[in-house]
Structure 1
């Protein structure tokens, strides 16, 4: 049995039930329904409120700061609460992304000015990533990358060509088998390409985070549509940019720097993939 043959069989069944669905779309639909990690995991941490300051979160903050203020050293002397509070505010600032984001609720007030002075006097902006304590969630939209990189165009064109052969040989089981096998091979290649790209992108994201001094956990979310995520996180954005820039094109590595360029649209990159002899059908033929 070929790799992922059950998934491909399920995709063909899905396609039969949804006649307007292409095989690549059917493969993705089956993968999403079978992947328990596709949903964002719930967390027990306090979550931002959508209706003003959460009394529970405020109470917990007061409780924690009171305990800290009353803490002593081993010799019985009081701790340096001002230093501790400044460090906490620096970490909160790192978690939300910037001093501006921290104080966006009322910029220009005397309270905001004093808080900004405290944070800016405690940590420089370039050192904020080192103060981060909240997990950093970076987003990778693989489908969007496949489109931008020209791979989606190549894949769909190749699959469409094979499906035309299948339709042409629909009554000839012996001649029908070769296109079916080729379709399976191409689906495997696409699946392997995506898996390898996600692994490489994740590795580069983690490396970028370390270079920036981030010690907080890094979570890579492979999302279908990153536009659904509206969190403002400059640090995550920076890591994502570095990961995109450093991760090579999975089929023709030298095209990596051209992906997303206005001068090199997907159809132009698809043409270059074919010119390099790296289309899915070319690769399937040599597999």
Structure 2
């Protein structure tokens, strides 16, 4: 650090205040901090900038550098942020940090020399303080533990000259509860439309009194067989989805257990959505084998399952599915379930790691 630090030195008080902000990181039930360091630092800098009169005053006595550019970006982000949830006692911690960083900024201006330069340029002083905070709490990975990667975390990592860890999957410890709405998935796959087109054709034959009874009976049998087959197909997909969880957890380096909740999207008990559940859902959707095709969506990028040829062939005696090819991935979920899942069935996975939750 560029100068001696008595206890009332603004750099010391800034270090202490920002360390307190960083250490208050209780996780929510979705595994993320309610008040993450990156966004709070942006808010703190925005408040300091307003107090001292703008960036011209904040950076007085120092040339424009990459550090001033990054801090300016944080100020802009903090200025645009809407008020977050009630921080309770944590609000006082944030306020003390605003006061300390304001004193640090005013020190830079107070000691501008005759050559117009400050011996304590704010951008460098703040970066020194942040670097010491990171060292105190155990590194940048610990600083961002439990937080999603955002533009603000990226900016702070660049300011510190440190690589940004993939914190969201690595540090979450709470279970990741993901929703599986099978009807919604099949709709996105185009399979629901495909099924309904075939059903409508059969139903028109079932109710057509001009057809011979034998033809109507065959159509009725085919209709019921198709409905039963589609129900079994959805149940098999749900089983495949759940059985793909360990593979996806390993691919994402996720240490938390994943719970799959089979419900309709708008049910009151459907799990909440957060950035990690979205990431896990996308990965599971791409990796899960669709029974109608015998392939996972990632095996045919750019095409929906319903767009593949021969997903179902309708004959006079019912629906016959084409032969299913072997999956191309190392994990082969079972496809032998014929039991329909109740929409509210909750299926929980086990932690995929041999040593349990860390």
Q: TM-score, normalised by structure 2?
A: 0.43
* 1:251 is the counterpart of 2:271: no
Contact persistence 2:31–2:173 (CA under 8 A): no
* 1:120 is the counterpart of 2:140: yes
Contact persistence 2:205–2:211 (CA under 8 A): no
The residue number in structure 1 matching 2:280 is 239
> CA shift at 1:189, angstroms?
1.4
Contact persistence 1:93–1:128 (CA under 8 A): no
> CA shift at 1:172, angstroms?
6.2
Q: Secondary structure at the match of 1:137?
A: strand
Give structure 2 stretches of 5+ with no counterpart. 1-18, 46-92, 98-129, 146-163, 322-358
Q: Secondary structure at the match of 1:168?
A: coil
* 1:191 is the counterpart of 2:244: no
Query: What is the root-mean-square deviation of aligned Cα atoms in Å?
Result: 4.2
Query: 1:93–1:165: structure 2 CA closer, same or farther, 3 Å change rule?
Result: closer
The residue number in structure 2 matching 1:222 is 262
- Taking the aligned partners of 1:165 and 1:135, their CA distance within structure 2 comes to 49
The residue number in structure 2 matching 1:108 is 43
The residue number in structure 2 matching 1:281 is 314
Query: 1:224–1:245: structure 2 CA closer, same or farther, 3 Å change rule?
Result: same
Query: 1:189–1:172: structure 2 CA closer, same or farther, 3 Å change rule?
Result: same
> CA shift at 1:105, angstroms?
6.9
Give structure 1 stretches of 5+ with no counterpart. 1-81
Pick one of 170, 173, 185 that aligns with 1:145: 185
> Which of these two proteins has the greater Rg computed from alpha carbons?
2
Pick one of 199, 205, 208 that aligns with 1:159: 199
Kindly tell me the number of residue pairs found equivalent between the two proteins.
193
Q: Which has the higher helix share?
A: 1
Contact persistence 1:141–1:223 (CA under 8 A): yes
Q: 1:24-59: per-residue Cα shift (whole Å, max 9, x none)? A: xxxxxxxxxxxxxxxxxxxxxxxxxxxxxxxxxxxx
> CA shift at 1:187, angstroms?
1.1
Contact persistence 1:135–1:216 (CA under 8 A): yes
Contact persistence 2:261–2:271 (CA under 8 A): no
- Taking the aligned partners of 1:106 and 1:206, their CA distance within structure 2 comes to 36
Query: 1:176–1:187: structure 2 CA closer, same or farther, 3 Å change rule?
Result: same
Q: Which has the higher contact order (CA 8 A, sep 6+)?
A: 1
Contact persistence 1:149–1:249 (CA under 8 A): no
- Taking the aligned partners of 2:171 and 2:29, their CA distance within structure 1 comes to 6
Contact persistence 1:93–1:102 (CA under 8 A): no
Q: How do 1:1-287 residues align onto structure 2 when only pairs under 5 Å count?
A: 89=25, 92=27, 95-97=30-32, 104=39, 107-109=42-44, 111=93, 117=134, 118=137, 120=140, 122=142, 125-169=165-209, 174-225=214-265, 231-253=272-294, 256-257=297-298, 261=302, 264=303, 270=306, 272-273=307-308, 275-276=309-310, 278-279=311-312, 281-282=314-315, 284-286=318-320
Contact persistence 1:165–1:179 (CA under 8 A): yes
Q: 1:244-279: per-residue Cα shift (whole Å, max 9, x none)? A: 111233312457248895xx5x7xx64x45x42x32
